[in-house]
Structure 1
Amino acid sequence: MDHMTRVAVIGAGLGGLTVAGLLQRDGFAVTVFEQASEFWRIGAGIILGASTAKVLRRLGLEEALVQTGIRPDAFVSRDVATGTVLNDMPFDAAAEARFGGAFVNIHRADLHRLLLSRLAPRTVRFGHRLLGLDETGDGVRLSFADGLVAEADIVIGADGIRSVVREAILGHEPPRYVGKVAIRAVFPRARAPGVPMRDCTKWWGEDRHVLAYFMTERRDECYVMAAIPDDRWDADTPPAPGSRDTFLDAFPTAHPELRQLLMATENVSLLPICDRPRRDVWSSGRTVLMGDACHAVRPFMAAGGAMAIEDAAVLARAITTFDEPEQAFARYAAIRIPRVGDVQRISAENSWLRVPGETDWFFGYDPFAAPVDRAA
């Protein structure tokens, strides 16, 4: 497609901002429509591997990513009750050289800020909630709740698990509650003085787990997320406040080090964990999906953000390469579906990195390596 192509990205999440930045870098006219009125420093942390560092490198953000977040020394797996170390995978210089990029933990809001810095002023239009879209033959007309009507040559649905763009392509299919609730907290490290804490540790129980990690090199802010079974929730249950007792009651036999850490939590929140059954229809006409809008995964592999950013790289390459949207979208889906399918399956199993295993396929992935051309 030529650089006169008007691209509308719906959703200013990690994937939406990344694809917007890559396409702008290649000269495309991009507008991002976001329903929120502005960005807030809310949410939680995110774990990124070498594949996402390769994408941020193309945007000139890899060094800023590393400086803003933290290079964890390792990913450690421990038994939730005994504390036994089940896996200790180092993320040292040798691992970075092997996989081709840095491993970084970072607050999502800080990553948003970095991605936004690579966009031209006024690229993101806040306060625009999409109501629907209609393909007009040579373009797409988008209608928003505030009365705005916009035109685009292609539309990228990066609007998350409750995607309006997805509904336009696949019809109404509500997210699927997976039977577990996430308990999350971000709190100062000073609340847990003397409590041992590695840069990134996952504590494994029989039907539940806790993930705890730092989000900056200062190691002054902790993020703790647990997943526990709960049949009282569903996909439409809104997030709710919790307390440290929510953590403690969920892990009554926790190892002393973990229990001390949970006792330090504050500003606790609960929300249902949802995904979607696999559907390999990712586009229709001039409209395409990416990230959670088309392949929402359970957060048990800490790979959802990475998949959206990888999607952005492959989709931007395809749009730049092909003359017709349908060709670009077909090639993008053909490259991404097998990998995302593996991630969806392993995330559902909740087995990733529990014990040592083969990891090159995941950490060594390069979204710029798969051939994106007419011959392929």
Structure 2
Amino acid sequence: MSKQPRIAVVGAGLGGAAAAALLLKAGYNAHVYEQAPSFSRLGAGIHVGPNVMKVLRRVGIADELNAQGSHPDFWHSRHWQTGDLLAQIPLGDFAVKEYGESYLTVHRGDFHKLMIEALPDGALTYGKLLVAIEDKGDAVHMRFADGTTAQADLVIGADGVNSRIREELLGPEPPKYAGYLAHRAVFPTPAAKSGMLPFDPCVKWWSDDRHMMVYFVTGRQNEIYYVTGVPVVEWDLKNSWLPSSKEEMRETFSGWHPTVQALIDGTVEVTKWSLLERDPLPLWSRGRMVLLGDACHPMKPHMAQGAGMAIEDAAMLVRCLDEVGAHNHEQAYALYAANRVERTSKVQRVSHDNTWLRTNEDPAWCFGYDVFNVPLVDPGKAA
């Protein structure tokens, strides 16, 4: 392998884009292959914690993201019926001081656009759905649905929960339906109504068996987003999402606080999505191929850290390639997994349990993490 190995990143989501951006900034020869025909502003919100902002600072988009996003002073948890506070976790200036970067909420599409724009011209090719991949020993051969082929020395599978590369490493196995649906809607912030509370910039409404997370996705607070977690016993995995409706939302959240009802009344369009998980994988890499993000640890969104873990993965993978050299890729991959499995498994577990910040707990273990400076664990000593 040359000093400039050809690194293919399969998938231009937030994790894949972060990996490519960091690789290119570090001087690697990287290219991204994305199955979508073009970029689109997908309608969802996203939390970006200080642990993620530290990576985005290196990517070069932290200032612009800070300018676009909403900066809540607190994460509020509220009782579904009374609106009483269950928890109030300080963010805002506290996050910057204690964790080293800001905590913000933003439209996922706006965030993703900044990530894509951070890539140099020519570093990303759209319309490349991977249908076959084979590690030939000296190189990895890829074939795409459009009939084209490509080769690379190393391949990073950032291709999501239904990863073709994960399937190549471990065989076909569908992800597990987690037993919950998520309703998602982005719409103009409704006017205040009698009997409701002011819209908190970041709030999670909790009952015993379901919740609704609500936050602004712009700094002007003129656009608001909610995402739910609702138990539904069965779901056809052929459908990743389906349309929902105000009527379904009213039925699902009947009796909830007037503030929640005002959000449902203001909803323009709402969809419902199956929440998928996998058990921790027995391996994250083999030969020249390695996984990151949802390809190896998909999780419920209940900690708002799914994309964050993918972005941290990307940063740690590049750090490990730098540490031992890309020519020692199997050693680098082993170092990467040793330094990510424990953390991502913990986040998977807490996300599954859906307890995150329901009460006044200390989130420093998550938000204060610095992927660039955490001491590296030797693969031989990892649990």
Q: TM-score, normalised by structure 2?
A: 0.95
CA distances 1:240-284 after superposition (whole Å, capped 9, x unpaired)? 111112211111120122222222112111111111122141000
2:84 aligns with 84
Q: Aligned pair in 2 of structure 1 residues 71, 3: CA closer, same or farther (>3 Å)?
A: farther
Residues 53 and 62 in structure 1, CA contact (< 8 A), matched pair in contact too:
yes
Among 310, 313, 330, the residue aligned to 1:311: 313
Q: Aligned pair in 2 of structure 1 residues 375, 274: CA closer, same or farther (>3 Å)?
A: closer
Partners of 1:330 and 1:126 lie apart in 2 by: 30
Q: By how many angstroms is 1:193 displaced?
A: 6.2
Q: By how many angstroms is 1:192 displaced?
A: 5.4
Partner-residue secondary structure (3-state), 1:53? helix
Among 324, 336, 347, the residue aligned to 1:322: 324
2:347 aligns with 343
Q: Equivalences for 1:264-275 in 2 at 5 Å?
A: 264-275=266-277
2:358 aligns with 354
1:332 aligns with 336
Q: Aligned pair in 2 of structure 1 residues 317, 270: CA closer, same or farther (>3 Å)?
A: same
Q: Equivalences for 1:163-312 in 2 at 5 Å?
A: 163-190=163-190, 196-312=198-314
Partners of 1:95 and 1:371 lie apart in 2 by: 22
Give 1:362's aligned amino acid.
C
Partners of 2:43 and 2:169 lie apart in 1 by: 29
Partner-residue secondary structure (3-state), 2:233? coil
Partners of 1:343 and 1:374 lie apart in 2 by: 21
Partners of 1:19 and 1:2 lie apart in 2 by: 20
Question: Which deviates further from its counterpart, 144-153 or 191-200?
Answer: 191-200
Among 351, 374, 377, the residue aligned to 1:370: 374
Partner-residue secondary structure (3-state), 1:297? coil
Give 2:73's aligned amino acid.
D
Partners of 1:192 and 1:231 lie apart in 2 by: 35
Partners of 1:375 and 1:223 lie apart in 2 by: 41
Residues 321 and 373 in structure 1, CA contact (< 8 A), matched pair in contact too:
no
CA distances 1:31-54 after superposition (whole Å, capped 9, x unpaired)? 100000001112301101101010
Partners of 2:230 and 2:277 lie apart in 1 by: 15
Give 1:189's aligned amino acid.
T
Partners of 1:237 and 1:268 lie apart in 2 by: 16
Q: Aligned pair in 2 of structure 1 residues 3, 61: CA closer, same or farther (>3 Å)?
A: farther
Give 2:233's aligned amino acid.
D
Identity of aligned residues (%): 42
Partners of 1:47 and 1:3 lie apart in 2 by: 37
Q: By how many angstroms is 1:145 displaced?
A: 0.8
CA RMSD of aligned residues (A): 1.7
Partners of 1:374 and 1:268 lie apart in 2 by: 46
Residues 2 and 320 in structure 1, CA contact (< 8 A), matched pair in contact too:
no
Q: Aligned pair in 2 of structure 1 residues 257, 315: CA closer, same or farther (>3 Å)?
A: same
Q: Aligned pair in 2 of structure 1 residues 3, 89: CA closer, same or farther (>3 Å)?
A: farther
Give 1:353's aligned amino acid.
L
1:159 aligns with 159
Q: By how many angstroms is 1:191 displaced?
A: 5.6
Q: Aligned pair in 2 of structure 1 residues 311, 173: CA closer, same or farther (>3 Å)?
A: same
Question: Which deviates further from its counterpart, 66-75 or 285-294?
Answer: 66-75
Q: Equivalences for 1:12-51 in 2 at 5 Å?
A: 12-51=12-51
Partner-residue secondary structure (3-state), 2:339? helix
Partner-residue secondary structure (3-state), 1:38? coil
Partners of 2:257 and 2:193 lie apart in 1 by: 17
Q: Aligned pair in 2 of structure 1 residues 2, 115: CA closer, same or farther (>3 Å)?
A: farther
Partner-residue secondary structure (3-state), 1:345? helix
